[in-house]
Amino acid sequence: MSKPADAQSLTLTTADGYPIAALRYPAAGPTRGHLVVAGATGVPQGFYRRFAQYASSCGYNVMTLDYRGIGLSKPATLKGFRMDYLDWGRQDLAAAVDTMSEPGLPLYMVGHSYGGHAFGLLPNHDKVDGLYTFATGAGWHGWMPPMERLRVLLMWRVLGPLIVRVKGYLAWNWMGMGEDLPVDVYRQWKRWCTFPRYFFQDPDMKHIAESYESVRSPIMACNALDDLWARPPSRNAFMSAYRNAGWQATDIDPRQAGLGPIGHMGYFKAHCKPLWEGALGWLEQHGRIRPASPSR
C-alpha cells in the first residue's frame, strides 16, 4: 500500500448545466481502477476523505462530490433554491461517472445510504462495473425499532415542518443531523418515507421501477445490525428493485466483528477500515471485467 496523494479540486458540469464541486484522489502507484463515492443525504464529501485516501493508496483514482444544494455545491442561500431530489443521481453522480469512466480500466462505485438509491437512477449505470453500498434502506419508519420510529416521526411531522416554515428549507444543522437540505429534497424524501418500499410504492412514481430493472452490474449491500435507519428488512425492501442485477447482501454484527458501534454513519469512520478492505476486495472479485483498450 502506497502513501495517498493530495486531493485535487475540480468542478463537474452536469447535463443540465449545474456546477458540482468534486475532489479527485489520484491513485498511488500503478492504477488498478477508478472509484466514485456516492454519499448519503445531507453528508458533505469531506466525510468520506479517509475512505477515499485509503482507496487511493490501494491504487484507485477516487472521486468524491457534493450534490447540488449540499456542501461546496450549494448556492449562497438555500431559501428559494429549487431542485429535484432525483437529480443527485440522474445529473450529479452521472457527471462523476462520465468523468471517471476510462476504456480498459474498471470503474466502481461505493455508496452510502442514498448512494445505493442513486445507482438505479443513473442514465449511465452501464459504465459502472460494480456497486458496494453501505446503509442503504427504504427509509420507512415501520422498519425501525420503536424508539427510533417515534424520533423519526417527530422529525417528519413536527420539527421538520416548523423549521421549513421558518427557514424556507430543512435546517438539519439545527437538529445536529447533517447539512441543511433544500426544501424539495425535504418534501420528496418525507413523502417517499411514508411507503414501506420508498418511491416504488408512490403512485406518481410508477415509471421509476424500469430504471432499476435495467441494472445488470453486480451489487453488494452491506448493513450493520446496529444501524437503526437501515436494518436488513429495510434494505431488502429497497434493494429488491435491482432484481436483474443479482444483488447480494451482507449483515455486519459490530460486536462480533470487533468494530465497535457503527450505526448509520460509522461505516466510513477510521475504526471501520476492515469494511473498506472488504468492499474493495469484493468489487475486484465480483465486478465486471472490461476488455483492455485496443493498441494503437
Q: What is the pLDDT of residue 287?
A: 84
Quote the pLDDT of residue 295: 41
Cell of 21: 464541486
- Residues 6+ positions from 269 with CB-CB distance below 8 Å: 50
- Per-residue confidence (pLDDT) for residue 225, from 0 to 100: 97
User: What was the pLDDT predicted at 294?
Assistant: 47
Q: What is the pLDDT of residue 162?
A: 94
* Phi, psi of 124, rounded to the nearest 5 degrees: -120, 30
Low-confidence stretches of the chain (pLDDT < 70) are 1-5, 175-176, 290-296
- Residue 292 has a pLDDT of 53
> String of b and e for 74-105 (b: at least 16 CB within 10 Å)?
beeebeebebebbbbbbbbbbbbbebbbeeeb
Helix (H) or strand (E) holding 10: strand 8-13
